[in-house]
Structure formats: C-alpha cells, structure tokens
Amino acid sequence: MNIGRDVEIQRQYYAQTANTYEERHVAGKDEHNFALNLLIASLDYYEIRSVLDLGCGTGRAIRQIKALRPDIRVLGVEPVQKLREVGHTLGLTSQELIEGDATRLQFPDSSFDLVCCFGVLHHIPKPTNAIREMLRVAGKGIFISDSNGFGQGSLLTRTLKQAINALGLWRTFHLIRTKGKGYEISEEDGVYYSYSVFNDYRLIRSACKKVHILNTNDGDINLYRTASHIALLGVKETVV
C-alpha cells in the first residue's frame, strides 16, 4: 500500500521515539487515561465482550482492559513495528498486538462488540475513513477519545476558528496556514492534522442509536466551543 509523505514522517517519528513512547504519551493521568477509565466503566452496562483498539501504540488501553477484565477479548492494531515490539516486551502477545491500518481494517463486519481509539484520529490524514471502518467492524458501538480543535486556544482564537468553520472555510484556511501541506509537526507529537471529534458527529449519529459526549479535560456547557478534548461513545444497539 502506498502511503503519503506525511504518513511516512509520522511513522518514522514513532519508530524513532518508540523506546520513550510510554514516558511521552502514556505516563500520568491525561485526558486519554480518563477516557479509558470511562470506557472500562461502561463495558458491563453495554455487555461488551470484545474490544478492538486502533492505533494503540504500545497497547496501554488493551493492557489495562486485559488486567481488569481478563474475560474480555482484546486486540490492538498498530502500524509501527517498533511500537508493537515495545508492547510485546510489556506483556502483550503477537496475537494481541498486531499490524494494521485503521483506515483499512482486515476484519469482517461486526467482528468486535466495541472498536475504540485514543488520540489517533488527529494523526490520520482522512480520519473519516477510520470512523467508517470503526462503525463497520463494531457490532455494538465505538468509543473515541481525541481533540476538539475548535475548543482549543484563547477565547479570541476559539471564536475566530469557530466563525471560519461556520462559514465552511476552515479546510481552505488551514491549507493556507500550513502552506498547502494540511498538517503540522511538533517535537512532542510528530505529524498532526486539524481535527475535531465534532467533524464526524453526523456520520456517527447516522449509524448509532445513541451518542454520548463529554469533555475529558475541561470545558463549559457548550463542549464544541470550549472543550479541548472530547470522549464520544456511539452505541449501535440499545440495552434491553
């Protein structure tokens, strides 16, 4: 499969920083750790018996689910070999942490009860493709923990971004701002794209009977306008 230069840069970044990945991206009680604990608390309520985690890095989510709920089948998909190798040294087998692409999953429809991802979508050039795959492979629901770019920054910055987005000009504005690349690079996170969980809300809403949304960092009553990070649970089946 051919990949773009931006994807290649991102995978090289994670390959080069794999040995410090846990320290950089897993240590501490960040917004994704908070979201993961919310997901774990929901497993029984929605009668989840199998979980697929996309872009799972060294396997934080599946290690924690496996430790707390050994009765649940867990599987992690990660495209970067070096990250998988670190995950294997942390106790995950080669059957629990495997190679894969979130936008082209190798699994049949509804093959897992729940499909989740933590801090992954803002690293994917076309995150909607990953969302479609999540909805296809999930039998009961999907869980997303990621950024809300329109809720990040000062009040003035957020207001300007939201106004541009309301006019339907955000993509054009972002391309101009990044000189046509459509992405930026940081030392802490590698390649990242402008992303908001709310970008894919309509798609998720059309496929799910219920959608639960909450902030995982901080935010006021209007999460789109004020919350920098969001957790979303889309439920395809209702609990009887």
Q: pLDDT, tens digit, for every residue of 37-61? A: 999 999 999 999 999 999 999 999 9
Q: pLDDT, tens digit, for every residue of 84-141? A: 999 999 999 999 999 999 999 999 999 999 999 999 999 999 999 999 999 999 999 9
CATH 3.40.50.150 is the classification of domain 5-149+195-235:
yes
Pairing of strands 138-147, 229-235: antiparallel
* pTM for the structure as a whole: 0.94
Segments making up each domain of the chain, as ranges: 5-149+195-235
